[in-house]
Amino acid sequence: MFDIGGRWVWVKKLPYGNIKVFHRPNDYVRNIVQPLCQNRGFWNPKYNCWVVFDRFQDDVLSSLSQSGRILSH
């Protein structure tokens, strides 16, 4: 979990190796998270989260940690 601008961003490992990145609706956080996840996975409208392909997860996690504060692993 990450804190970006006082808002939490949750990351969860999915059973097939990808990760999901979720945050509550917030334009500030969306403007940071969307460019990190775009072209590295897909938006899942059913669950309102990004699904990031496993081969990009290290890059996305590193970028999230640079954009905010790590709250938990």
Show me where the domains of the chain are located. Answer: 2-70
Mean per-residue pLDDT for 25-36? 97
Q: What share of the chain is helix, strand, coil (3-state, %, to 5)?
A: 35, 35, 30
Please, which residues have CB within 8 angstroms of residue 55's CB and are 6 or more apart in sequence?
A: none
Establish how many alpha carbons lie within 13 A of residue 66's alpha carbon, considering only the half-sphere containing its beta carbon: 8
**pLDDT at residue 15 in the model:** 94
Cα–Cα distances in Å, from 2 out to 16, 22, 25, 48?
22, 10, 15, 17
Mean per-residue pLDDT for 10-37? 97
Q: For the full predicted model, state whether its pTM sits above 0.85.
A: yes
Q: How many residues does the chain have?
A: 73
Reported as a pLDDT band with limits 50, 70 and 90, residue 73 is low
Mean per-residue pLDDT for 50-67? 97
Mean per-residue pLDDT for 14-43? 97
